[in-house]
Amino acid sequence: MSLLHELSSLPGAEEVLRHARAERPQKNELCGAFAGLVSLRAHGVEVTDQDEVALAAGTVLASGDEPSWPPGECGRADFRLTLPVAGGSASAGTSAIGLARAIETLSHGELAAVPASGEWTVPALGRLLDGARRLGRVVVIANVDTGKFAAHDTPQRLLRDYLDAGEIPLWTSRWRVGHFVLVAGMSTGTAGTLVSVVDTYPSLGEQGVHLQPIENLAAALRRKGMAPGGMLLIVRADWAGAARALVTDAGLRAQLWDNGSPAPRGQSR
């Protein structure tokens, strides 16, 4: 049996998986908008498409260079809306603050995007994800460096060995970019913990879901050599206080982080 069926899922994970499966692949450079769209729809908020989320988040497309796709994937450029394009040396992408504000705005205040940033140690990440299971329905967005992930096609036997003996697979991802993904659950063994990552491309893992040793996910959130990463806990607005308490209890900061992408006009980090 696949390890994916042995996970302890976060509340609302089935809706996350369903909406991610229906929306894949992400549109070019819209990983943040993809994650935002899935978060909104998983909470029952209707949004038209990734473009609507991207526009609300202040996403800026890169100019000139072809986007970086995982091996075996191709682009998707069926944009409905015209999105801003970076000029000259201006940075591009989706900022953490822009994505958080887009989710809160498009939900008309029904949802809160509670940030988690700081020192991404394995114990801190484990406490945060374990605590998230007590939040009612929650969608967890992670802003990561994919190069720190274990390979998306790591054999199941090696992942089982990791759970039993704590031996982290040596194979790492062949695709390295700053990226937004979703987290759906955990599986804890005798010596290791696996976290299920819901990705934006169907070729990554098993129908777009891959399992990561918690050590790899923590390293991916630290994004060494890049601007820092972080997490957003998307909850109903009346659960925001409980979510912030979980973040601080885990030893993290309930503050947005600067991932190097431009913040929307009029919004500071």
| Per-residue pLDDT of the chain in tens (269 residues, 90 and over written 9) | 688 888 899 999 999 999 999 999 999 999 999 999 999 999 999 999 999 999 999 999 988 766 778 988 888 999 999 999 987 545 889 999 999 999 999 999 999 999 999 999 999 999 999 999 999 899 999 999 999 999 999 999 999 999 999 999 888 999 999 999 999 999 999 999 999 999 999 999 999 999 999 999 999 999 999 999 999 999 999 999 999 999 999 999 999 999 999 888 656 54
Q: Of 132, 175, 168, nearest to 152 (Cα)? A: 175
Q: Tell me the pLDDT tens digit for each residue of 192-246.
A: 999 999 999 999 999 999 999 999 999 999 999 999 999 999 999 999 999 999 9
Q: Please give the Cα distance from 55 to 51 (Å, whole number).
A: 6
Q: Distance from CA of residue 65 to its chain's centroid?
A: 24
> For the chain, which domains are there?
3-249 (3.90.70.10)
Q: Tell me the pLDDT tens digit for each residue of 166-185.
A: 999 888 999 999 999 999 99
Q: Please give the Cα distance from 134 to 129 (Å, whole number).
A: 10
From residue 100, alpha-carbon distances to 28, 73, 91, 190 in Å are 20, 28, 19, 36
Q: Which two structure tokens, joined as six digits, stand for 38?
A: 């899935």
